[in-house]
């Protein structure tokens, strides 16, 4: 049954009164749904820190956001490449030094439909390494700051999780034997979801003050395919973008903004468009398949991820965070 919690039009940013005094950190905030999410948060008075891999596009995005939202809009970026874990660690350390409060970390950045097998700096299949392992490390390093703020983690996944193996390929996480641009992408997005749901369980076990939500943008007109997909995929997506089955990037940003700001949301859920095939339409709670929360698999993925990245999360041990640097005069 279609979710009607927020009425026939679904959730929209009109439900937000003011976000003054709140800080949002978002990956991939210089284009597509991430840019639109940043813009909407700024119009509500929030501070936005973008973590992006392209300095030139980031500088241009900051300029455009200030032009649209006012020169006093509190928006900045920190360089980070999710495909390089040393870059992720450096960016996280900079955030901890300069951002004293994180009301929500929005894991928005992704690559998709990479036509041939490629690897990250650390030797991971590029889509799994960027979409899952990069965010796994980022969330782990910023977790205690988020908890101090009683904040949230928002994982932006994809309906594609239903189109792949529907489990983790633990015997070949790099897809050396059966690489496929779509199924491998779907594998990476399912990994992100499983990480989030296992994190929910670990937070409950340890009584931490962080909420975790999972959402997807539906079928939205963003630059995701054009930046990493092959020529054939780009052409097919361009044709599809002209149909009613694709919505604007702004509407694609609604689910992640809702998950970052709306009170009273159920955590063990999957939010996004609730219209035709859950690709477009009013935003609310969609369908969450049981295999995405398979306890045996999500627990094993957590262990595999810690071992692969070398990051042991601080959930079960006390941590001392660096003191943020004071603002300049």
Banded model confidence at residue 324, pLDDT cuts 50, 70, 90: confident
Q: Which of these ranges, 34-43, 59-68, 203-212, 240-249, has the smallest mean pLDDT?
A: 240-249
Please determine, for residue 225, whether its predicted confidence score (pLDDT) is greater than 50: no
> Is 268:285 a contact under the CB 8 Å cutoff?
no
> Is 95:145 a contact under the CB 8 Å cutoff?
yes
The pLDDT score that the predictor gives to residue 129 is 98
Distance from CA of residue 239 to its chain's centroid? 26
Q: Is 7 left (phi over 0), alpha (psi -120 to 50) or beta?
A: left
> Is 254:11 a contact under the CB 8 Å cutoff?
yes
Query: For 37-41, which contacts have Cβ atoms below 8 Å and span 24 or more sequence positions?
Result: 37/106, 37/108, 37/253, 37/256, 37/257, 37/260, 38/65, 38/75, 39/65, 39/68, 39/69, 40/13, 40/250, 40/253, 40/257, 41/257, 41/260
Please determine, for residue 219, whether its predicted confidence score (pLDDT) is greater than 60: yes
Q: Exposed, middle or buried, 11 (CB in 10 Å: 0-12/13-18/19+)? A: buried
The pLDDT score that the predictor gives to residue 314 is 82
Annotated catalytic residues are: 185
Average the pLDDT over 149-166 and give the result.
96
| Fold of the 18-309 domain | Rossmann fold (3.40.50)
Compute and round to an integer the Cα radius of gyration of the chain. 18
The pLDDT score that the predictor gives to residue 239 is 46
Q: What is the pLDDT of residues 56-113, one digit of tens each?
A: 999 999 999 999 999 999 999 999 999 999 999 999 999 999 999 999 999 999 999 9
Banded model confidence at residue 2, pLDDT cuts 50, 70, 90: confident
- Residue 7 neighbours by CB distance under 10 Å: 10
What's the predicted TM-score (pTM) here? Answer: 0.91
Q: What is the pLDDT of residues 279-323, one digit of tens each?
A: 999 999 999 999 999 999 999 999 999 999 999 998 877 656 666
The pLDDT score that the predictor gives to residue 220 is 79
User: What does the mean pLDDT of the chain come to?
Assistant: 92
Q: How far apart are the first and last CA of the chain?
A: 55
Banded model confidence at residue 238, pLDDT cuts 50, 70, 90: very low
SS3 at position 314: coil
SS3 at position 178: coil
Average the pLDDT over 226-252 and give the result.
62
Of the chain, the percentage scoring pLDDT greater than 70 comes to 89
Both tokens assigned to 76: 């900045």
The pLDDT score that the predictor gives to residue 235 is 46
DSSP state letters, 93-158: HHHHHH-S--SEEEE-------SS--B-TTSSBHHHIIIIIHHHHHHHHHHHHHHHTT-EEEEE--
Pairing of β 283-285 and β 271-273: antiparallel
The pLDDT score that the predictor gives to residue 228 is 54
């Amino acid at each position: 049954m279609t979710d009607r919690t927020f009425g026939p039009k679904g959730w929209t940013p009109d439900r937000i009164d003011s976000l003054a005094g709140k800080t949002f950190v978002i990956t991939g905030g210089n284009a597509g749904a991430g840019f639109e999410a940043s813009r909407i948060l700024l119009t509500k008075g929030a501070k936005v820190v973008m973590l992006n891999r392209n300095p030139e596009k980031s500088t241009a995005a900051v300029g455009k956001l200030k032009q649209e939202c006012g020169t006093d809009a509190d928006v900045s970026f920190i360089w980070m490449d999710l495909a390089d874990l040393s870059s992720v660690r450096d960016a996280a350390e900079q955030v901890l030094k300069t951002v004293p409060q994180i009301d929500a970390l929005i894991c928005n950045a992704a690559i998709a439909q990479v036509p041939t097998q490629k690897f990250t700096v650390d030797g991971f299949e590029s889509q799994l390494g960027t979409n899952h392992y990069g965010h796994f490390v980022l969330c782990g390093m910023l977790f205690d700051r988020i908890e101090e703020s009683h904040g949230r983690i928002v994982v932006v996944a994809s309906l594609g999780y239903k189109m792949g193996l529907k489990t983790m390929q633990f015997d070949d996480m790099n897809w050396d034997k059966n690489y496929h641009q779509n199924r491998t992408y779907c594998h990476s997005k399912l990994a992100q979801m499983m990480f989030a749901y296992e994190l929910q369980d670990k937070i409950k076990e340890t009584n931490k003050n962080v909420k975790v939500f999972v959402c997807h943008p539906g079928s939205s007109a963003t630059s995701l395919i054009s930046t990493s997909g092959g020529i054939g995929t780009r052409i097919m997506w361009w044709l599809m973008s002209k149909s009613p089955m694709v919505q604007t990037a702004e509407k694609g940003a609604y689910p992640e903004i809702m998950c970052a700001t709306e009170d009273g949301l159920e955590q063990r859920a999957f939010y996004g468009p609730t219209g035709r095939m859950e690709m477009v339409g009013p935003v609310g709670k969609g369908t969450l398949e049981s295999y995405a929360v398979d306890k045996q698999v999500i627990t094993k993925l957590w262990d595999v991820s810690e071992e692969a990245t070398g990051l042991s999360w601080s959930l079960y041990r006390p941590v001392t965070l660096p003191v943020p640097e004071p603002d300049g005069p």
